[in-house]
Amino acid sequence: MAAPGDRAPVIIKRKKVVAGDGHHGGAWKVAYADFVTAMMAFFMLMWLLNATTEKQRKGIADYFNPTIPVNRISGGGEGVFGGQSVFSEDALPQNGTGGSQSTPSQERQARGNSGVDVSDVQREESEDRKMLQVSEQLAGNSGESSVADDLLEHILTRVTDEGLIVEIYDLPGDPLFLADGADPSLILRQLTAMIARIFGATTNSVAVNGHTRSYPVVLKSDPGWDRSTERAQVVRRMLESDGLAQARIERVVGWSDRKPAHSNPMSRRNDRLEIILLRHNPTRTGE
């Protein structure tokens, strides 16, 4: 038995515990989740910008555009302004958002104009349907086209805000013009005859664009401008001779090599023509 003076000292060990030590901390998970969410939203935005047309993007923007709801009786009184307020009949109510008087006069009543002309929307939808029908006829999907399949390989169609663009381009061994000049080949004559016949069922105006590839800089003069313009004029004359009314030709433009279709500016793919069935524009006379 140990003597009282020989007792061993008592040692107390204090251990400091950190709550956020190691993997037990969760703050980084919240930050990482916010980052992933932001990246997903970013890629969704990029995808929408690439996968939608200008008209669709405008519709999406209009959907998220905030509006101010206003009651039928939206304020005012018999005080200083005599019943007038910022919500009077000459402000928001005329955009279809409300009214300031329960019994307004004929001159000051709300017109209910929502800012969107329904007739314009219907006209655009009708134009889109017409463009798609013409495109199907050109592609032979409707059974009305008698042009051989090898000729249809020269055609690429797309509907844009400008109208239906019918792009005609060269194929290896089947050029649209002879000897790299402005004399049309038999293939081009057959194609313009088909396009004139199908366009004849519409009343829209028509535009013709000529494009060429880039030529070597060592040439004394660049033939692109003259050649693209001359080719566009040749196509215009063939369309008219095939039955398209002269008054429907709105413009004929030569673009030279300024709008290439291929990344290689000297590619033969850039030698092409565009015959555009333009959308109806109320500002044009006679439409």
pLDDT in tens, 97-107: 445 555 555 55
DSSP of 257-276: TSS-SSSSTT-GGG-EEEEE
Q: What is the pLDDT of residue 212?
A: 93
**Would you state the pLDDT for residue 68?**
47
State phi, psi for 266 to the nearest 5 degrees. Answer: -100, 10
pLDDT for residue 72: 43
Q: Tell me the domains of the chain and their CATH numbers.
A: 86-115 (no CATH), 118-278 (3.30.1330.60)
The answer to whether the Cα torsion of 248, 251, 256, 259 is positive or negative is negative
**What's the start-to-end Cα distance of the chain, in Å?**
122
pLDDT under 50 in the chain at which residues?
68-84, 86-98, 142, 145, 283, 285-287
CA distance 233 to 251: 10
243: left (phi over 0), alpha (psi -120 to 50) or beta: left
Q: Could you report the per-residue pLDDT of 116-148, keeping only the tens digit for each?
A: 555 667 778 888 888 888 888 887 754 554 556
Cα separation, 210 vs 224, in Å, equals 10
Give the pLDDT score at 79: 47
> Given this model, what pLDDT does residue 278 score?
94
Long-range contacts of 60-66 (CB under 8 A, 24+ apart): none
Query: What is the C-alpha R_g of the chain?
Result: 35
Contact yes or no for 202/277 (Cβ under 8 A):
yes
Q: What is the pTM of this model?
A: 0.57
Judge contact between 237 and 194, C-beta under 8 A: no
